[in-house]
Structure 1
Amino acid sequence: MTAAPGAADGKRPKLYGQLYVQVLVAIAAGILVGVLWPDVGASLKPLGDAFIKLVKMVIAPLIFLTIVTGIAGMGELKSVGRVAGKAFIYFLCFSTLALVIGLIVANVVQPGAGMNIDPASLDTAAVSEYTKRAHDTTLTGFLLNIIPETFVGAFTDHNILQVLFLAILFGISLALVGDRAQPALTILDSVAAGFFRLVAILMRAAPIGAFGAMAFTIGKHGVGSLANLAALLATFYITSALFVFVVLGAVARYNGFSLWRLLRYLRAELLLVLGTSSSESALPSLMEKMEAAGCPKAVVGMVVPTGYSFNLDGTNIYMTLAALFIAQATGVELSLGQQLLLLGVAMLSSKGAAGVTGAGFVTLAATLSVVPTVPVAGMALILGVDRFMSECRSITNFIGNAVATIVVARWEGGLDRDALNAALHPADPLVDAPVEMPPPVAAATAE
């Protein structure tokens, strides 16, 4: 992890030199430009796109190197399967819980009730691209797409699941080779260090990317568009906040660490996700910080990239909440059985969604296309504010994966408590002393 300016010599870093402060100022400046000069703000989209492309450029090799060296360094292949199994149990439980919470909140609050929208009056041309992409995605196609056409193709296509698949296989292969693979592991470790240094360099451009992305969002869609769907936006943001601070907060406390401290530790990444509306923009930095916080490299390499496709808490809350909002707004009454069907379809369609802008809208289209009771045309109602909802989805997804990484590391008994305390409780007289951590859950009984 790159030290903040001044940290290496023991001096307190200047406030303006902190990345999170720079990103926060950039977001505020982007909002100001978008409000005062909408046309200028809308034209700044390339700044945000360029930064995201820079980060995506290094994501595939970073994931590959981290997973390969982590698995090969574990020695016992049973450990690999155990980590993967625990990660997927965690993902299944909490992603399903997020879907259920979204369903319950939508029934209680009913943000779309009383709108009485006629689906035939909606312009569906704007959502046709999303529905086409949703129809092109099937469960069989998704599973086959995990296998790349060529080894290099997984990297050139920027398919995280394909890179993950190759990395696991190659890591297992090196582990089976044994001592003869040590020279290769040494080289791969050195290359990984170089890529993490490259990430540190690229992150200095984060404020520029956040500024451009936020200016575009406000300039293009305008703050006025929020008023029309204020009830839906407020419901979604409050539900996501309750999920993070109540559900994930309880999970963090049970596992012996403070969620607030974790959010403080990841504040630069959280602001970056907020500014770019993409959790993928902070993926390399999250992996680096989770390792620095005492999570084993193999756990970080397995949980974080996989979580970006299978542990999307914010996207899941959005899917059931938005689906019921559309049903309520168009006057469609859904029985309990139909809502459970919607929940089941959402469980499947949400798996494999990449943590990038717009992915939630595509998975919503996929869900509604399988449940014809709710008109897909109703998606046009929320298209105008989807960008603002994407920010909340991305932040919730990001926090969920950070918590999952620490929890799985503790379940494995590999969490370095001293490193975690040092990361979450930095040596600062204004910060409380570290708290005691409970003993790790035994590997044989953890679920």
Structure 2
Amino acid sequence: MKNTESILFKATTNLTFWVLIAIICGVLLGHFHPENGQKMKIVGDSFIQLVKIFIGPIIFLTIVLGIAGMGDLKKVGRIGIKSLIYFEIVTTFALAIGVAAAYIIQPGKIDKSGLTIEDASKYTSSAKTAFSWLDFFMSNFTLQVLVVAIIFGLVLNYHKKRETVIAVLYNWSKIVFRALKFVMYLAPLGAFGAMAYTVGKFGFETLIPLGKLMITVYITMAIFIFVVLGSILRYYKISILDFIKSLKAELLIVLGTSSSEPALPNLMNKLESMGCSKSVVGLVVPTGYSFNLDGTSIYLSMAVIFLAQLYNVPLSFGEILTIIGLLMITSKGAAGVTGSGFIVLASTLTAIHKIPVEGLAFLLGVDKFMSEARAITNFIGNGVAAIVISKNENEFVDPENPMELD
């Protein structure tokens, strides 16, 4: 009896338990009272906006402390180069998998007679002008913080009072993380609001091609996680299943909020507790949030092929390579700008001059449902990246890690 009471007490005092309950309640409210469910949008949005206040300071502090903590600038450069090479290889592979899955499953290959094209110009008006890296950088706060933090960290290594500054920044880091810990107690409210709005707004019914696309996206990302990322981890004798289980609380937060940002600090803490070097985690994970978007890459490439199938537009092998090449560049940092996925897609469609840009209107109905898959895949991918770089640098300091295979 006491054991049962103890288990119930632990469950009801666990944040994961309440996030799961909140998700269920949100789904039920959105389904049975859709009007009230849609009103909950402000609750989910407010939670995400509250958490995003911490993202800038956390990225800045962790990267600066990570670089300054390494001391050896050659080491910083080496890890940075290895990280960028790893990011580019994996995200390019993700883009190729998205294209391959779309061609194999063909979610857009249906009778279009019952479908109506909506005007998508209001969602893609910004794509009418040429793509500008300067404009993209100026609108992407995450990239700006990354650049400033890297420069500051490098300069700090040459500062006479380096240790004093590091001590101050370390204290500020503890304060920021402690404050965020209290904010995360509101995660169930954020999950409830987001799920209630999603179900209340779009319901359970959708068009056949969009339903097929959504299923294809989830299947493809599951294969990518368990086969591709799983194989990478297995090379380092780590089980992907055990790794995912260790992040179950964070994954529920990502699932409920459709954003990987709220779980960023917890991911970094978990990776350090698993054995990854603090300095490597502080450099790799925040950078990966802009440059290692596996889920976003899969979705973007699959969406382009989906629209081509929807309009029955044949694409040559050269055009497919062009699409992958364009997305390799424009998808970087896409998760840091609200609605940037549509801008990236519109830019790609405009560049190849074959697929109608107005087809993006089709994606608006289920984009919210697929955002969970993108966020979860991005989240797990960045965790795997930190482990890979830590292992490669011999900075995986916990040989007794329970995730390691026999």
Unaligned runs of 5+ in 1: 1-9, 146-156, 425-433, 437-447
Report deviation, 1:268: 1.2
The residue number in structure 2 matching 1:284 is 265
Could you tell me which runs of 5 or more consecutive residues in structure 2 were left unpaired when the two chains were aligned: 1-5
Q: Which residue of 1 aligns with 2:76?
A: 80
2:149 is equivalent to residue 167 of structure 1: yes
Q: Whole-Å Cα distance in 1 between the matches of residues 130 and 262 of structure 2?
A: 24
Q: Distance in 2 between matches of 1:203 and 1:264?
A: 20
- Once residues 374 and 347 of structure 2 are traced to their aligned partners in structure 1, the CA distance between those partners, rounded to angstroms, is 17
SS at match of 1:232: helix
Hey, what does 1:65 align to over in structure 2?
61
Question: How far is 1:118 from its partner?
Answer: 10
Q: Structure 1: how far apart are the matches of 2:284 and 2:358?
A: 36
Aligned partner of 1:141 among 126, 134, 139: 134
- Indicate whether 1:413 and 2:388 are aligned: no
Which whole-Å deviations, capped at 9, do the CAs of 1:257-304 have from their partners, x for residues lacking one?
111111111111111111111111212222222222222222112211
**Aligned partner (choices 2, 7, 10) of residue 14 of structure 1:** 10
CA distance change for structure 1 residues 226 and 13 in 2, over 3 Å: closer, same or farther? farther
* Mapped partners of 2:225, 2:383: distance in 1: 11
Residues 280 and 355 of structure 1 are in contact (CA less than 8 Å); yes or no, is this contact kept in structure 2? Answer: no
Superposition deviation, residue 360 in structure 1: 2.9
Alignment RMSD, CA only?
2.3
- Contact 2:191/2:253, CA 8 A, preserved across alignment: yes
For each residue in 1:162-188, what CA deviation from the matched residue of structure 2 results, as whole angstroms up to 9, or x when unmatched? 11111111111111125x221111111
- The equivalent position to 2:118 in structure 1, one of 105, 123, 147, is 123
TM-score, scaled to structure 2 = 0.93
* SS, match of residue 72 in structure 1: helix
Letter in 1 for 2:251: L
TM-score by length of 1: 0.85
Q: Which of residues 91, 97, 103 in structure 2 aligns to 1:107? A: 103
How far apart, CA to CA, are the structure 2 residues paired with 1:115 and 1:17? Answer: 51
Which whole-Å CA distance do the structure 1 matches of 2:95 and 2:321 have between them? 11
How many residue pairs get aligned? The number is 401
Among 33, 39, 42, the residue aligned to 1:37: 33
SS at match of 1:102: helix
Q: CA deviation at 1:328?
A: 0.7
The answer on whether the counterparts of 2:295 and 2:375 sit within 8 Å (CA) in structure 1 is: yes
Q: After superposition, where does 1:417-436 map in structure 2 within 5 Å?
A: 417-418=398-399, 421=401, 424=403, 435=405
**2:125 paired residue among 132, 143, 154:** 132
Give the whole-Å Cα distance in 1 for the aligned partners of 2:201 and 2:130. 29
**Pairs within 5 Å for 1:89-238:** 89-116=85-112, 122-124=117-119, 127-135=120-128, 138-141=131-134, 145=138, 159-178=141-160, 180-225=161-206, 227=208, 229-238=210-219
Query: Is the Cα contact below 8 Å between 1:49 and 1:209 reproduced in 2?
Result: yes
Name which of 22, 28, 42 aligns with 1:46. Answer: 42
Three-state SS of the structure 2 residue aligned to 1:414 is: coil
Closer, same or farther: CA 21–12 of 1 in aligned 2, 3 Å: closer
Which residue identity lines up with residue 19 of structure 1 in the other structure?
L
